[in-house]
Amino acid sequence: MRTDVCLILEGSYPYVVGGVSTWAHHLIKSLPDIDFTIVYVGVSRHHVQRMEYKLPENVREFHEIYLLDPVIIKNSRKWFRRPAWDKLERFVRDMEQGDLSRVDVMVDLLTGGVNAQISPYDIMYSRKFWDILLVIYRKHFNNLSFIDFFWTCRFLMLPLFQIIHCQVPESRVYHASCTGYAGLLGVLGKIKHRSPFILTEHGIYTNERMIEISQASYIYNEVVVDLIPRRKLGLLQNVWMRKFALLSGIAYNKADQIITLYEGNRQTQLQHGADPEKCILIPNGIDVARYAQLQDGKPRDRAAGMNVAYVGRISPIKDVKTYLRAARVVLDQRRDVTFYILGTPDEDVEYYEECRALAEMLELGDRMVFAGNVDMGEYYPKLDAVVLTSVSEAQPFVIIEAMSVGVPVVATNVGACSELLFGGTPEDQRLGRAGELTNVNSPEETAKAILRLLGDSESRESMARAGRERAFRYYQRQSVVNRYRDVYRGLMSDTRSGQSATMPMAGPRAEA
């Protein structure tokens, strides 16, 4: 079946709640006139829990690709294909120089199924590819253990083979929710089926991978660790980062439209090589009126104390531990505050248990409530502040939701948090502040911001008014959905009329 849009999602919808999943689910539901195929890209079938979302009726197909499931099948060669290997060597040399122009050639070499000119087995086990690795090793990694280098390369390549050798569903438009593996699959769909490719980056994929790789214990790091903090990555960590940077470069190069949520991300995309003529801004949006109705206008009785909540999934990138430490500082100064953690522990159970242990060590007791997944419609009206302590964000839905209800927010100064709370344009900034910003990994600073909010009712009311007005003016879901409909329809119209998918798109653009 050839659907209108093949939406490719990596590690999110429909198995993970919030963020990209929220965006994807509401986008699909709000476009009943467009048929979707969903491709979920995950790590392994063993890591999959349950579907957190019921797929809308206009999802005609659902496919899953697991990056670490077995893929290498031995197939013998009766002849040696020298021209194909020459092309592969040329591609590797070009990549070292940042030249990705031969991607189409490599797709042709590697994606022919049983008739592929070079198979995964050839690359994993042949002497010819061994020789290519030796050249790279001697040129760039000669002072590193070859065994570490060799096995790192093999592990890096396995997920790529899963993507390259999967059957890409046929669609009129391919739409990836990030660069990386999802973006590569979108590029393959474009090349194989001659359909346009759209990329929407919520957070900058390479930046988020940098955070994970710098903290990963499974990647050997030969950099000496001493008492002086260092930001330098080890050689093998840089190999991993190089891979993700190349995947982002391929996606930027092949995308017909590159969408992001706010201007800061667009500038980062341009720095990483995105064509400004392809880039537009489409922010996140919610049903603002529905959230605004949660606050009935009556002043909340605070005789029982104040309520503060972290809302979101519990994972290292959200730095929930800073929230816990900030709570301890606040409670040392006033005991009438109850802190909540409202979110699922399913993404990283080990980190969740670490947070529970830290809360116990800090003696937070019944003043820190791990409530799990809850109906936010019941909780938002009870809250005096929402706190977000993430080390990386794009444009958090939770801030827009809190603003719509009229709850001030304390957030780290990452992603679009500043634009959401303080305003982006001069006109937007005149509405006033909807919360406070803090530095990353700063419990004391976060605690001081919380205390300021809780101790100043006039500021809370002012921030509540500014947040509600900003949400109504700039973050309405229907306007976001209408813009995506225009992008889809425009690309599908160009495809049907036989125009080149790489022609400049009509419609609103951000200024370069």
* 502 found inside a domain: no
Same domain, 260 and 353: no
Same domain, 457 and 435: yes
* 512 found inside a domain: no
**Band of residue 116 on the pLDDT scale cut at 50, 70, 90:** confident
Higher pLDDT: 204 or 179? It is 179
Instruction: Write down the pLDDT at residue 367.
Output: 97
pTM of the model: 0.83
Q: Which residue has the tokens 């909340």?
A: 300
Higher pLDDT: 363 or 151? It is 363
* 38 found inside a domain: yes
Rounded to whole angstroms, the Cα distance separating 29 from 31 reads 6
- The SS3 assignment for 334 reads coil
* 278 found inside a domain: yes
- Residue 396 is encoded by which pair of tokens? 């958090």
Instruction: Write down the pLDDT at residue 295.
Output: 79
pLDDT at 64 over 60: yes
* 75 found inside a domain: no
Instruction: Write down the pLDDT at residue 56.
Output: 97
Average pLDDT score over the chain = 87
Instruction: Write down the pLDDT at residue 229.
Output: 40
User: Which helix or strand (DSSP H or E) is residue 492 part of?
Assistant: helix 477-496
CB 183 within 8 A of CB 163: no
Same domain, 251 and 393: no
Long-range CB pairs of 503-512 (<8 Å, 24+ gap) are: 504/277, 505/256, 505/257, 505/278, 505/280, 507/280, 507/483, 508/280, 508/483, 509/277, 509/279, 509/280, 510/263, 510/266, 510/279, 510/280, 510/281, 512/270, 512/276, 512/277
256-283: pLDDT as tens digits = 999 999 999 999 999 999 999 999 999 9
Rounded to whole angstroms, the Cα distance separating 51 from 38 reads 13
Instruction: Write down the pLDDT at residue 300.
Output: 67
Total number of domains constituting the chain: 3
Residues paired with 173 in a beta bridge: 5
Cα dihedral 282/284/288/291 (nearest 10): 180
- What's the residue count for the chain? 512
Question: For helices 20-29 and 477-496, what crossing angle results, to 10°?
Answer: 70
Same domain, 348 and 304: yes
CATH code of residue 486: 3.40.50.2000
| In the chain, % of residues over pLDDT 90 | 60
Same domain, 311 and 214: no
- The SS3 assignment for 495 reads helix
Same domain, 127 and 188: no
Question: What is the DSSP annotation of 398-428?
Answer: HHHHHHHHT--EEEES-TTHHHHHH-SSHHH
pLDDT at 297 over 70: no
385-405: pLDDT as tens digits = 999 999 989 899 999 999 999
Long-range CB pairs of 187-191 (<8 Å, 24+ gap) are: 187/103, 187/107, 187/250, 187/251, 187/254, 188/107, 188/111, 188/163, 188/164, 189/6, 189/8, 190/254, 190/256, 190/501, 191/103, 191/104, 191/107, 191/254
- The SS3 assignment for 22 reads helix
* Backbone torsions φ then ψ of 406, nearest 5 degrees: 95, 30
Range of the domain at 182: 3-70+166-222+231-285+481-496
**Band of residue 502 on the pLDDT scale cut at 50, 70, 90:** very low
* 77 found inside a domain: no
- Residue 195 is encoded by which pair of tokens? 């359909």
140-168: pLDDT as tens digits = 888 888 888 888 888 888 888 888 878 89
Rounded to an integer, the average pLDDT of 477-495 is: 92
402-422: pLDDT as tens digits = 999 999 999 999 999 999 999
Same domain, 342 and 441: yes
Instruction: Write down the pLDDT at residue 232.
Output: 58
Instruction: Write down the pLDDT at residue 80.
Output: 58
Instruction: Write down the pLDDT at residue 71.
Output: 62
* 510 found inside a domain: no
Higher pLDDT: 302 or 331? It is 331
Rounded to an integer, the average pLDDT of 123-146 is: 86
Rounded to an integer, the average pLDDT of 302-323 is: 92
Rounded to whole angstroms, the Cα distance separating 147 from 117 reads 28
Of 121-130, 219-228, 275-284, 342-351, where does the model show the most confidence?
Answer: 275-284
Spatial CA neighbour of 344 closest among 14, 17, 11: 17
Q: Cα angle at 376 between 371 and 379, to 5 degrees?
A: 70
- Residue 284 is encoded by which pair of tokens? 């996140």
Same domain, 183 and 273: yes
Instruction: Write down the pLDDT at residue 241.
Output: 83
Same domain, 363 and 456: yes
- Residues in CB range of 408: below 8 A, 6 or more apart: 384, 385, 386, 402, 434, 435, 436, 453, 459, 460, 463, 464, 467
Q: Which residue has the tokens 């959401």?
A: 420
pLDDT at 66 over 80: yes
- Residue 502 is encoded by which pair of tokens? 């790489």
**Band of residue 97 on the pLDDT scale cut at 50, 70, 90:** confident
- The identity of residue 390, as a single letter, is S
Same domain, 418 and 280: no
Instruction: Write down the pLDDT at residue 62.
Output: 97
Same domain, 441 and 304: yes
33-50: pLDDT as tens digits = 999 999 999 988 877 678
Same domain, 492 and 435: no
- The SS3 assignment for 102 reads coil
Instruction: Write down the pLDDT at residue 498.
Output: 57
CB 384 within 8 A of CB 306: yes
* 79 found inside a domain: no
Question: What is the DSSP annotation of 244-277?
Answer: HHHHHHHHHHH-SEEEESSHHHHHHHHHTT--GG
